[in-house]
A and B are shown apart, each in its own frame.
Chain A
Amino acid sequence: MTHAAQLRTARILASVIGAAGALYALLSWDPIRAQWDNAPAWWTIGAAVGTFGVPILVGALSWFLPLRMLRGALLGYGVLYLLLVASAIIVVRDVPPDSAPWIVTLLAIGPASIAAAVPRGWVGIAVLVAVVELVVVRSVAAGTPFLTAAYEDAIFSTPVCAIFVALAVVVGRQAEKLDRQAATAERRSGARAAAEARLAERDRVDALLHDTVLSALLFASRATEAVEPDVRRQAREALAALDATIDPGREPGSVAASDFADLLRARLVPVASGVPVRETTLVPVGATSPVTDEPGEADAPGVPRDEPAHPRVDRRRARRRRAGGRAQRAAARRAAHPADRGGHVARRQDPRRGARRRAGIRAARDRPGATRRTTQHPRAGARPPRRSRGGHDGPGRRNRRGARVGGAVSTPDLGLRLTLRAVRLIGALTALSFATLAILAAPAATEPAPGIGAAGLFLVVGVLLLADRGGRLPLPLAVLGAVTPVFLVLIAAPGAGAELFSAWYLGAGVVMLMLLALRGRIVLAWIGAAGLTVAAVLVTPMVGPAIAVIITLLVRQLALLAIVTLFALGIRAGVRRLDRIRRSEVRDARLTAAIAGAEAEREERLGWAYLVATPLLRRIAAGEALTPELRLEASLAEAELRDGLRAHGLARHPVPAAARGARARGVEVVLLDDRSEPLSEEQLAPLRLRVAERLEAVESGRIVARLLPAGRDELLTIVEHVEEDDQPDAP
């Protein structure tokens, strides 16, 4: 759980627990006041402050305290309450029976506060406290001299305690769940936004490159002397457009080559001590090796000699790779491959490993001496791309869960999910308490059977309610939960005895209604409470305790229901607020990811185009004569840029250098990438190696290498036309 979510959860808990403590203490005001005459002054003052002052203070301050202090306050609050109970047992000794509810409150709120304050393992601690409390109260009920609480109220303290602990458990888990949902949504939507932004930016930049740079180079390679002025003008326009796109804030044409080189260098991060940063040098097209600042750098394993450095390296990945020579080489390769950025979904692989896989590459010649056709099958070279967990798809990767991703954060359930094992144990403890009360009440009852039957009904319906998974309780179950307390009264009350604990059905019914309130059925819970009250008032006077006692008990129970209702409402508002915040966070994450994705794509494409084309365009724009050599360089640069646009997956090391060499020898080279779903680097590396080998081997004619669309039997086809057959193919 994030710090913010923890803080919000703790504040909600502190407020509700504080309000509950103060409210229930107020209901027990008279017995508390009565104790003051029997207790030392220090205890009286401590009890007053602890009972009223501390919960209000904690609740109020919770919205201002930082998380650590708030946890400390809650922990201190809980410990203080437990100490008050202990001190009451030891110091006061002769506690009036009517003060038991107050003791119950202390015992309930104390563990709940501790549970809210301790981030891990608090469920066990709280349950342990509840069990210990049960044992203590039971021992008191058995006749120990320390606490003379009424037996039925002592037993009743267990479910009250359990309820408060359950509240703490549920809120914490609900917040964690929301946090996980938000994190997943942020990750998915962020990745998707980045991919979409990259694609949009790619289209934009590609259009720019086509309309300006590619056209200018094409003109330069083919234009006659008569149109040389037009060619130079076109080169100047291309440079201006490129500069303006690289830095939109500047006037077109104002970005000097050295400025952009500095910009690229600034983006480079030292990936590891001992691994030199590749200097970004504007390499003249046609050169076979870039200039590096370290003589031995280009000899490092996996570092190509013929690729310009990439302008940007992921800082976090670079830091992670600082340890170990292997990691250093991997980072160096990343820094060296302009288009090698999508590798976060794939492992890097030594290109030499691809050679061992070449045995799986099937070559076929349909007409010996005329055409050589080579295909690469999906299973021959590499395993299928791995999908990372949680839908963390790389840029450009199609997300199979797109529809769900688009929904960002789902609307949280307003009801609380009481499906945790700990909460069910607490529920079982509650049921056990009331069942015990019912059994103990049986001997005193005029008709025991209805009471036992009512206890059975309570247990069955309680199990049904707790067994339901999901947020808001289904309506049929909720109605069942609302009417059951009424039936409990109608069944058990007429035959109940005169003992106070014989009215166990009131507490049991209210506990059930509390569950309804927590599960998003507040209205039904209070309808059930009204029915319970009416039934109790109508039925009870016939037999059992006096109406005044019943009303006192009802007030206490309904006060608990009110606390739980306030708690549920508070949580509901809190959850909604959390959801709003999360949605905002997701929007921010999407925006951030989109900006980062677009920037990365722009840097990659423009940096590459800038390095390949700018030197030539500047020479042409400056008026250098269009010699055959310059035309050839322009033609090669145009072809290299076109490969990058049309064959993204293939136009990486070592293919560009091999293609440049083949074209320089007069070979017509066509590279195509028609994959809709990019292949992993692990799959692409041997394919590129294969293509490069064929490009290096071919001496004339035409060669076409194509990455096929996904779903085909083959990954790659290479077709070589070794004869001089350049006639148009108009069948």
Chain B
Amino acid sequence: MIAQPTPIRLAHVDDHEAMRVGFAAIVDRESDLELVASGGVVDDVIAAVADVDLVVLDLRLGDGSTPEGNVRRLAGAGARVLGFSAAEDPAAVRQASVAGALGVVRKTEPVDVLLAALRSAAHGESIATVDWAAALDSDPRLADVGLSPKEIQVLGLYASGEKSVAVASRTGLSEKTVAEYVRRIRTKYARAGRPAPSRVDLYRRAVEDGVVGAVRDRGPESG
């Protein structure tokens, strides 16, 4: 007997009911996707995020919360977060990126683009959209992020609308290397937005970024 692959478990936060209904309809048609939680505010899904692979978050909620605060709450609960927005506000995209969102997808993107982004983000991959890249590339504080010249070039090309194949061609890199650059850009940008006034904070940031492994209860060393 062939085991069915485990579907990707999703949660959706959007303050517009019609949008939630539409999103549910889109996901319902896909066998490998499962919407397990949906709500108008983060509180509606926060209890379920431990069991989901990805939270799709509308960046502008009507409850007065901020994109950064919402992404941090969800990430703090262990969720991967993908921004879902009209993307007309670069500041909101930057906030979400600082808080560690994997990317931002426009609500107006074609359905297949959205679905592909959901599948990639659910596996922890960074989603490099033109809106995400343009928002970061135009950030006046970008110089403080500490991107390398190559990373700046990659970000600029994405921001101008190039796709990964063209970015690889223009930079002379492989697509895999370009993907690694995108991951580094996202990590550096998020790290720059988090103050680390002490060594403990620095360690926490490094753990969050995956630079060092977290100390777990492993019991006594075996040797």
Q: Which of B30-38, B118-126, B204-212 contacts A (4 or more CB under 8 A)?
A: B118-126
User: Which of the residues A210, A222, A672, A725 comes within 8 Å of B60, measured between beta carbons?
Assistant: A210
Write the nearest CB–CB distance from A601 to chain B, whole angstroms. 16
User: Which of the residues B107, B108, B178 comes within 8 Å of A731, measured between beta carbons?
Assistant: B178
Q: Chain A residues near B160 (CB, 8 Å)?
A: 373, 704, 706, 708, 717, 719
Asked if A218 CB lies within 8 Å of chain B CBs, one says: yes
Asked if A303 CB lies within 8 Å of chain B CBs, one says: no
Considering the complex, which residues of chain A in the window 709-731 have a beta carbon less than 8 Å from any beta carbon of chain B?
Answer: 709, 717, 719, 721, 725-731
Asked if B19 CB lies within 8 Å of chain A CBs, one says: yes
Instruction: Decide: A215 and B161 in contact? CB cutoff 8 A.
Output: no
Instruction: Decide: B169 and A367 in contact? CB cutoff 8 A.
Output: yes
Asked if B195 CB lies within 8 Å of chain A CBs, one says: no
Instruction: Decide: B166 and A371 in contact? CB cutoff 8 A.
Output: yes
Complex formed: what's the CA distance from A706 to B138 in Å?
A: 11
Instruction: Decide: A206 and B21 in contact? CB cutoff 8 A.
Output: no
Q: Chain A residues near B126 (CB, 8 Å)?
A: 730-731
User: Which of the residues A223, A224, A672 comes within 8 Å of B134, measured between beta carbons?
Assistant: A672
Asked if A246 CB lies within 8 Å of chain B CBs, one says: no
Instruction: Decide: B86 and A730 in contact? CB cutoff 8 A.
Output: no
Instruction: Decide: A730 and B161 in contact? CB cutoff 8 A.
Output: no
Q: Which of B41-49, B68-76, B87-95 contacts A (4 or more CB under 8 A)?
A: B87-95
Instruction: Decide: B166 and A366 in contact? CB cutoff 8 A.
Output: yes
User: Which of the residues A215, A672, A702 comes within 8 Å of B16, measured between beta carbons?
Assistant: A215
Complex formed: what's the CA distance from A210 to B25 in Å?
A: 23
Considering the complex, which residues of chain A in the window 200-257 have a beta carbon less than 8 Å from any beta carbon of chain B?
Answer: 206-207, 210-211, 214-215, 218-219, 222-224, 226-227, 230-231, 234
Asked if A57 CB lies within 8 Å of chain B CBs, one says: no
Instruction: Decide: A224 and B112 in contact? CB cutoff 8 A.
Output: no
Instruction: Decide: B166 and A731 in contact? CB cutoff 8 A.
Output: no
Write the nearest CB–CB distance from A4 to chain B, whole angstroms. 42
Instruction: Decide: A726 and B112 in contact? CB cutoff 8 A.
Output: yes
A231, A706, A708: most-surrounded residue (chain B CB, <10 A): A706
Q: Chain A residues near B110 (CB, 8 Å)?
A: 668, 726
Complex formed: what's the CA distance from A211 to B159 in Å?
A: 25
Instruction: Decide: B86 and A719 in contact? CB cutoff 8 A.
Output: no
Known contacts A366-B166, A731-B178; A223 and B18 CB within 8 A of each other: yes
Q: Chain B residues near A639 (CB, 8 Å)?
A: 108
Instruction: Decide: A702 and B113 in contact? CB cutoff 8 A.
Output: no
Instruction: Decide: B86 and A726 in contact? CB cutoff 8 A.
Output: no
Complex formed: what's the CA distance from A214 to B18 in Å?
A: 13
Instruction: Decide: B86 and A728 in contact? CB cutoff 8 A.
Output: no
Instruction: Decide: B161 and A230 in contact? CB cutoff 8 A.
Output: no
Instruction: Decide: A719 and B22 in contact? CB cutoff 8 A.
Output: no
Question: How many of A's residues come within 8 Å of B, CB to CB?
Answer: 48
Considering the complex, which residues of chain B in the window 77-121 have a beta carbon less than 8 Å from any beta carbon of chain A?
Answer: 86-90, 103, 107-108, 110, 112-117, 120-121
Asked if B163 CB lies within 8 Å of chain A CBs, one says: yes
Instruction: Decide: A210 and B88 in contact? CB cutoff 8 A.
Output: yes
Known contacts A727-B113, A728-B117; A366 and B170 CB within 8 A of each other: yes
Asked if A674 CB lies within 8 Å of chain B CBs, one says: yes
Complex formed: what's the CA distance from A717 to B170 in Å?
A: 15
Q: Chain A residues near B54 (CB, 8 Å)?
A: none
Asked if A645 CB lies within 8 Å of chain B CBs, one says: yes
User: Which of the residues B159, B163, B178 comes within 8 Å of A706, measured between beta carbons?
Assistant: B159
Known contacts A366-B169, A726-B113, A730-B127; A234 and B18 CB within 8 A of each other: yes
Asked if B55 CB lies within 8 Å of chain A CBs, one says: no
Asked if B11 CB lies within 8 Å of chain A CBs, one says: no
Instruction: Decide: A670 and B161 in contact? CB cutoff 8 A.
Output: yes
Known contacts A218-B107, A223-B22, A727-B113; A674 and B166 CB within 8 A of each other: no
Q: Which residue of B lies closest to A375 (CB)?
A: B160
Instruction: Decide: A638 and B108 in contact? CB cutoff 8 A.
Output: yes
Q: Chain B residues near A670 (CB, 8 Å)?
A: 130-131, 161
Asked if A411 CB lies within 8 Å of chain B CBs, one says: no
Complex formed: what's the CA distance from A202 to B118 in Å?
A: 32
User: Which of the residues A227, A231, A646, A728 comes within 8 Å of B113, measured between beta carbons?
Assistant: A728
Asked if B179 CB lies within 8 Å of chain A CBs, one says: yes
Instruction: Decide: A226 and B161 in contact? CB cutoff 8 A.
Output: no
Instruction: Decide: A642 and B86 in contact? CB cutoff 8 A.
Output: yes
Q: Which residue of A lies closest to B178 (CB)?
A: A731
Write the nearest CB–CB distance from B151 to chain A, whole angstroms. 13
Complex formed: what's the CA distance from A702 to B109 in Å?
A: 11
Instruction: Decide: B89 and A210 in contact? CB cutoff 8 A.
Output: yes
Q: Chain B residues near A638 (CB, 8 Å)?
A: 108
Asked if A288 CB lies within 8 Å of chain B CBs, one says: no
Q: Chain B residues near A230 (CB, 8 Å)?
A: 17-18, 21
Q: Chain A residues near B107 (CB, 8 Å)?
A: 218
Complex formed: what's the CA distance from A222 to B18 in Å?
A: 10
Q: Chain B residues near A635 (CB, 8 Å)?
A: 108
Complex formed: what's the CA distance from A207 to B59 in Å?
A: 12
Complex formed: what's the CA distance from A370 to B126 in Å?
A: 24
Complex formed: what's the CA distance from A706 to B18 in Å?
A: 31
Asked if B128 CB lies within 8 Å of chain A CBs, one says: yes
Instruction: Decide: A730 and B88 in contact? CB cutoff 8 A.
Output: no
Complex formed: what's the CA distance from A370 to B103 in Å?
A: 25
Asked if B164 CB lies within 8 Å of chain A CBs, one says: yes
User: Which of the residues B21, B138, B162, B182 comes within 8 Å of A674, measured between beta carbons?
Assistant: B138
Instruction: Decide: B88 and A729 in contact? CB cutoff 8 A.
Output: no
Q: Which residue of B lies closest to A705 (CB)?
A: B161
Complex formed: what's the CA distance from A11 to B178 in Å?
A: 76
Write the nearest CB–CB distance from B27 to chain A, whole angstroms. 14
Complex formed: what's the CA distance from A676 to B140 in Å?
A: 8
- Chain B 165-194: CB-based contact to A (< 8 A → 1; otherwise 0): 010011000011011001000000000000
Instruction: Decide: B163 and A674 in contact? CB cutoff 8 A.
Output: no
User: Which of the residues B17, B121, B162 comes within 8 Å of A730, measured between beta carbons?
Assistant: B121
Considering the complex, which residues of chain A in the window 121-163 have a beta carbon less than 8 Å from any beta carbon of chain B?
Answer: none
Q: Chain B residues near A721 (CB, 8 Å)?
A: 161, 163
Instruction: Decide: A674 and B178 in contact? CB cutoff 8 A.
Output: no
Q: Chain B residues near A672 (CB, 8 Å)?
A: 130-131, 134, 159
Complex formed: what's the CA distance from A302 to B23 in Å?
A: 45
Instruction: Decide: A706 and B116 in contact? CB cutoff 8 A.
Output: no
Asked if B137 CB lies within 8 Å of chain A CBs, one says: yes
Instruction: Decide: A730 and B116 in contact? CB cutoff 8 A.
Output: yes
Write the nearest CB–CB distance from B198 to chain A, whole angstroms. 33
Write the nearest CB–CB distance from A128 to chain B, whole angstroms. 60
CB-CB nearest 4 A-B residue pairs: A704-B161, A731-B179, A728-B116, A730-B120
Q: Apart from A635-B108, A670-B161, A731-B178, what are 18 other A-B pairs with CB-CB below 8 Å?
A: A219-B22, A227-B21, A227-B22, A230-B17, A366-B166, A371-B162, A639-B108, A642-B108, A645-B88, A646-B89, A670-B130, A670-B131, A672-B131, A672-B134, A674-B137, A706-B134, A727-B112, A730-B128
Chosen A-B contacts, 6 in total, with CB atoms closer than 8 Å, are A219-B19, A367-B169, A639-B108, A646-B88, A728-B116, A731-B128
- Interfacial residues, chain A to chain B (CB-CB below 8 A): 206-207, 210-211, 214-215, 218-219, 222-224, 226-227, 230-231, 234, 366-367, 370-371, 373, 635, 638-639, 642, 645-646, 668, 670, 672, 674, 676, 702-704, 706, 708-709, 717, 719, 721, 725-731
